[in-house]
Amino acid sequence: MPAVSKGDGMRGLAVFISDIRNCKSKEAEIKRINKELANIRSKFKGDKALDGYSKKKYVCKLLFIFLLGHDIDFGHMEAVNLLSSNKYTEKQIGYLFISVLVNSNSDLIRLINNAIKNDLSSRNPTYMNLALHCIANVGSREMAEAFASEVPRILVAGDTMDSVKQSAALCLLRLNRTCPDLVPMGEWTSRVVHLLNDQHLGVVTAATSLISTLAQKNPDDFKTSVSLAVARLSRIVTSASTDLQDYTYYFVAAPWLSVKLLRLLQCYPPPEDGAIRGRLTECLETILNKAQEPPKSKKVQHSNAKNAVLFEAISLIIHHDSEPTLLVRACNQLGQFLQHRETNLRYLALESMCTLASSEFSHEAVKTHIETVINSLKTERDVSVRQRAVDLLYAMCDRSNAKQIVTEMLSYLETADYSIREEIVLKVAILAEKYAVDYTWYVDTILNLIRIAGDYVSEEVWYRVIQIVINRDDVQGYAAKTVFEALQAPACHENLVKVGGYILGEFGNLIAGDPRSSPLVQFHLLHSKFHLCSVPTRALLLSAYVKFINLFPEVKGTIQEVLRSDSQLRNADVELQQRAVEYLRLSCIATTDILATVLEEMPPFPERESSILAKLKKKKGSGTVSDIEDSRKERNVNANANVNGSSDHTITNTSAKPPPSFACDLLATAPPPTNRPRPIPSSSMLHTPLTPLSPKAYTPQPVTPTVPFYQVTSSPSSDLLGLGNSSAVNSASPPTSSHAASLLVDVFSESLPVAALGSASAHVIEENFSRFVCKNNGVLFESQLLQIGLKSEFRQNLGRMYIFYGNKTSTQFLNFSSSVVCPEPLSSQLNIHMKAADPVLDGGAQLQQILNIECISDFVEAPVLNIQFRYGGSTQNISVRLPVTLNKFFQPTEMTSQDFFQRWKQLSAPQQEVQKIFKAKHSMDTEITKAKIIGFGTALLDGVDPNPSNFVGAGVIHTKTIQVGCLLRLEPNTQAQMYRLTLRTSRESVTQRLSNLLSDQF
């Protein structure tokens, strides 16, 4: 037994805990717990009313059992009863049980809320605190609804005790985080700002947290906090270490408050007022100076607290990015930390320097530390620190040091931890491309990457090298020579075989003059790897062989023999078999001219953003990397155009990905060139499915735009073979060559429309869109694989949408990603923020993603949700129109008949009114119509229209910049089954849009 502490009385609980601890086995423990559960259950169910003490004790035991990791399915009611006890300790246990165990969507919330309400109005500070703690701990929507107006009142009331103010501030913060829409800004906001002047530092600390959170969303409302925060900070920074009494922590004055104030200031740009700005700069200088002073204590707590403030100050300096002297001083300070004996400081210095590297003022200063950073890469024992070093090298890289950094990263890769190899590979690939002056270096680097870490070289990386080689004719010969040499290695990675096969297939002729790499040698070299490779690689090699037939007529016979062998023609794999059959046929029947046309060199790929960069961003989330990238991009205007140009209007983690409605843009992220282009379910294809196709090929695949490695393999070629009555299975008599030749030419000319077809089928799905105009929940999209459900809520100009992705299959979806695209001009009218989704969606599982929406001004278009994931080896792309429509930002307005008509008259200009007469699409049920108008967002005004069968509504559209009042009148004519809808608003575009949205609903 431990020394029992003060004020404790629950002996039974202590005995129970001892019993549990004495249990020798897991089984014994479970047995003891079950016994206790049975006992408690019978006590709770028993006839004898339990007194408060026993109830408290049993509830506490249940809590203990829960904390051991067992499920508790009863006792909640008893805990709620304890809340209304007038004994403090019983109340306390009741609240504790509820904070720990009650889920935010429990049925008991109403009862709990009642008890809280009583305690909040009790004027007993201890009880009030318990109640506020409970709200903050549970923080559910129901609680926010019940208390969102009460808590601010307590917070700013003149007679509230300090400790209650603190609890109220943080309670409000929690509610604001859970349901920002429910915590309205009001006159209390200005009074909250003045809490920064409070004498009690505890109150200031709590208030600063609250203000920081609120200011992030409504910076304008809290502008005045800047000067107060600077004044407060200045007083803390200049105070003697004893001035603040108990708020001094190991000789550091109020470190928590300082950090919070510095954080608050990061919500704003540098102060405009010169005096305030000067004072802030002084503060920051003082903090930097203090870092140079000898420590006042040897305790790690002292240095941690001091440096916590320092790092936060540096964050603010970087955030402002306007004071070159401060930036360089910050960089030097971090430079000292790079070699500090504390691992934590080295880690943080590396991390912080990463952001400094993105400032043009300090980029050069950061670069001076390159040797130290390279050294940490080699000597650090902690992988997290090495990871930071890699990040920093990546961030500080530019044209001047790219070769050195890439070399160091490559050599680190040989021994790097498996967990970070893929990321390093991506980084090396990006840097090599971005800063390549001569592309032979680039090719060497990527081949080295494959050699050192082939398993970690993702598809994106090797697609990219092929794209670049194809687009740059100055490097093609070198690339062919280099891959040829690399392939000589007895054991080379399959990725190298892929790159080698592709490049030799395209450019093998450039090195064929050398007898050491004659066509036949090239072919044998490739074919020696064939049997060790996976199916997709073999498929790619087969395509390379048919290209050889075109490039080098002299090896035609050898290759035909290979194609004709049973292991190809009768391969169990349908894809390989089909290729062998088709290529063999093609080589037999086509004239050299036709062959040359069909197997022509690949045309250049359209220039676009590197898919590798997109992948890295995705891997790292929308966090640091993309930020660094974006800001660095601005500076490196000279850098390769490919990596520039992220589209501003694409949001979230995949921000760099181009909108997938353009097939050519998508090529960057497209499936491998190895894959034969998947049969696009075009009608011609479906009519003649003579060629063996795996059933998978027919599953709806909304656009898998492929890199058309060989035009001949695009779908019309199977059509051709079908027409020619020869298929692999039937092996009917071959058609005459002249016949085939003309067809082949046709085929070729059709290959472009095929690509266009691909892009057309990338259409945005919007069939369920209009269902959501008048309601907020439901199923937005459903296919055999995926179901997308929506739940949304809107308030004034803000909205939140919960997207639920349900995997309907039993297989995992991999690389799951989603992004929201707002095409111009929508991107400036709506702000949408989305957190990255988990990349893996298990079979049968559901994934939730939250979208925060802010309406800036009125808009017409709706954003598009793009979803991408891998399922069963193929990438699925789905684009769905998201039902974020203007009417969602309606606030209903009640008004009298007189008011209504007065306003109606005021809006009589012709461009303010839109009238539509249309036929009813649904039954003209009065109740349904009413529900739709209310669902549309306006108030339904009774008794306004003299004709009772008409409907009249009014509401205000809230956007950040303007508010638009709207009046509407709907006149049904049941006889004619027609409606007349009249809308009047002060803004033409709004009237138009609302009219279109609403008239579609009846």
Contact by Cβ (8 Å): 420, 411: no
One-character DSSP codes across 40-54: HHHHHHSSSPPPHHH
The nearer residue to other proteins, 462 or 813, going by C-beta atoms, is 813
> Rule CB under 8 A: is residue 304 a binding residue for other proteins?
yes
Each residue 340-359 as x (binds other proteins by CB under 8 A) or -, in order, gives ---xx-xxx-----------
The nearer residue to other proteins, 172 or 447, going by C-beta atoms, is 172
Burial class (CB in 10 A: 0-12, 13-18, 19+), 561: exposed
> Rule CB under 8 A: is residue 49 a binding residue for other proteins?
no
What is the rounded distance in angstroms from the CA atom of residue 523 to the CA atom of residue 31? 72
Total length of the chain: 1002
Query: Prior bond to 883 cis, omega within 30?
Result: no
The nearer residue to other proteins, 143 or 563, going by C-beta atoms, is 143
Q: Which of 22, 34, 104, 811 binds other proteins (CB under 8 A)?
A: 104
The nearer residue to other proteins, 123 or 177, going by C-beta atoms, is 177
What is the rounded distance in angstroms from the CA atom of residue 24 to the CA atom of residue 347? 43
What is the rounded distance in angstroms from the CA atom of residue 301 to the CA atom of residue 586? 77
What is the rounded distance in angstroms from the CA atom of residue 350 to the CA atom of residue 4? 46
Nearest distance from C-beta of residue 195 to other proteins, angstroms:
13
Q: Which of 37, 65, 96, 551 binds other proteins (CB under 8 A)?
A: 96
**Segment contacting other proteins (CB under 8 A): 2-10, 573-581, 921-929, 975-983?**
2-10
What is the rounded distance in angstroms from the CA atom of residue 469 to the CA atom of residue 498? 14
> Rule CB under 8 A: is residue 21 a binding residue for other proteins?
yes
User: How far apart, in Å, are the Cα atoms of 176 and each of 265, 342, 540?
Assistant: 20, 37, 55
Looking at 179-299, list the stretches that DSSP marks H as alpha helix, in order from N- to C-terminal side.
188-193, 201-217, 225-238, 255-265, 274-292
What is the rounded distance in angstroms from the CA atom of residue 531 to the CA atom of residue 492? 13
> Rule CB under 8 A: is residue 89 a binding residue for other proteins?
yes
Nearest distance from C-beta of residue 938 to other proteins, angstroms:
33
Contact by Cβ (8 Å): 29, 16: no
Q: Which of 27, 71, 73, 927 binds other proteins (CB under 8 A)?
A: 71
**Tokens matching residue 373:** 């950073």
> Rule CB under 8 A: is residue 305 a binding residue for other proteins?
yes
> Rule CB under 8 A: is residue 180 a binding residue for other proteins?
no
Nearest distance from C-beta of residue 88 to other proteins, angstroms:
4
Under rule CB under 8 A, which residues in 119-158 are in contact with other proteins?
126, 132-133, 136-137, 139-140
Contact by Cβ (8 Å): 300, 249: no
Nearest distance from C-beta of residue 632 to other proteins, angstroms:
19
Nearest distance from C-beta of residue 283 to other proteins, angstroms:
17
What is the rounded distance in angstroms from the CA atom of residue 605 to the CA atom of residue 477? 18
Nearest distance from C-beta of residue 110 to other proteins, angstroms:
18
Under rule CB under 8 A, which residues in 324-343 are in contact with other proteins?
343
The nearer residue to other proteins, 47 or 566, going by C-beta atoms, is 47
> Rule CB under 8 A: is residue 46 a binding residue for other proteins?
no
> Rule CB under 8 A: is residue 386 a binding residue for other proteins?
no
Q: Which of 113, 160, 209, 669 binds other proteins (CB under 8 A)?
A: 209
35's CB contacts (< 8 A; 6+ apart) are: none
The nearer residue to other proteins, 309 or 743, going by C-beta atoms, is 309
Number of amino acids touching other proteins (CB under 8 A): 91
Each residue 263-292 as x (binds other proteins by CB under 8 A) or -, in order, gives x-----------------------------
What is the rounded distance in angstroms from the CA atom of residue 892 to the CA atom of residue 938? 4
Under rule CB under 8 A, which residues in 701-730 are in contact with other proteins?
none
**Tokens matching residue 65:** 């059992």
> Rule CB under 8 A: is residue 799 a binding residue for other proteins?
no
**Segment contacting other proteins (CB under 8 A): 159-167, 466-474, 685-693, 695-703?**
159-167
The nearer residue to other proteins, 17 or 978, going by C-beta atoms, is 17
**Segment contacting other proteins (CB under 8 A): 96-104, 223-231, 713-721, 858-866?**
96-104
> Rule CB under 8 A: is residue 205 a binding residue for other proteins?
yes
Q: Which of 23, 185, 191, 202 binds other proteins (CB under 8 A)?
A: 202
DSSP SS3 for 228: helix
Positive or negative: CA dihedral 263, 264, 268, 269: negative
What is the rounded distance in angstroms from the CA atom of residue 889 to the CA atom of residue 585? 63
Q: In what order do the strands lie in the sheet with 814-821?
A: 814-821, 864-871, 874-881
* Nearest CA among 676, 696, 471, 660 for reference residue 576: 676
> Rule CB under 8 A: is residue 516 a binding residue for other proteins?
no
Q: Which of 46, 69, 274, 943 binds other proteins (CB under 8 A)?
A: 69
Q: Which of 37, 40, 147, 167 binds other proteins (CB under 8 A)?
A: 167
**Segment contacting other proteins (CB under 8 A): 8-16, 146-154, 467-475, 518-526?**
8-16
The nearer residue to other proteins, 179 or 786, going by C-beta atoms, is 179
> Rule CB under 8 A: is residue 11 a binding residue for other proteins?
yes
Burial class (CB in 10 A: 0-12, 13-18, 19+), 830: buried
> Rule CB under 8 A: is residue 373 a binding residue for other proteins?
no
> Rule CB under 8 A: is residue 63 a binding residue for other proteins?
yes
The nearer residue to other proteins, 74 or 88, going by C-beta atoms, is 88
Contact by Cβ (8 Å): 76, 100: no
Contact by Cβ (8 Å): 166, 260: no
**Segment contacting other proteins (CB under 8 A): 169-177, 586-594, 712-720, 919-927?**
169-177
> Rule CB under 8 A: is residue 564 a binding residue for other proteins?
no
Distance of alpha carbon 405 from its chain centroid, rounded? 29
> Rule CB under 8 A: is residue 93 a binding residue for other proteins?
yes
Each residue 815-844 as x (binds other proteins by CB under 8 A) or -, in order, gives --------------------xx--------
The nearer residue to other proteins, 385 or 469, going by C-beta atoms, is 385
Under rule CB under 8 A, which residues in 596-655 are in contact with other proteins?
621, 623-624
> Rule CB under 8 A: is residue 458 a binding residue for other proteins?
no
> Rule CB under 8 A: is residue 579 a binding residue for other proteins?
no
**Tokens matching residue 917:** 């007469």
Write down the residue that tokens 């579609």 correspond to. Answer: 1000
Q: Which of 115, 155, 201, 720 binds other proteins (CB under 8 A)?
A: 201
What is the rounded distance in angstroms from the CA atom of residue 303 to the CA atom of residue 295? 7
User: Measured between alpha carbons, how far apart are the two ends of the chain, in Å?
Assistant: 74
Contact by Cβ (8 Å): 357, 392: yes
**Tokens matching residue 390:** 């890699």
| Buried/exposed 500-523: b ≥16 CB within 10 Å, e otherwise | bbbbbbbbbbbbbeeeebbbeebb
CB atoms within 10 A of CB 780: 24
> Rule CB under 8 A: is residue 160 a binding residue for other proteins?
no
The nearer residue to other proteins, 17 or 535, going by C-beta atoms, is 17
**Tokens matching residue 524:** 């044998």
Under rule CB under 8 A, which residues in 231-260 are in contact with other proteins?
245-247, 249, 254-257, 259-260
**Segment contacting other proteins (CB under 8 A): 198-206, 483-491, 745-753, 981-989?**
198-206
What is the rounded distance in angstroms from the CA atom of residue 264 to the CA atom of residue 210? 10
Q: Which of 174, 434, 464, 498 binds other proteins (CB under 8 A)?
A: 174
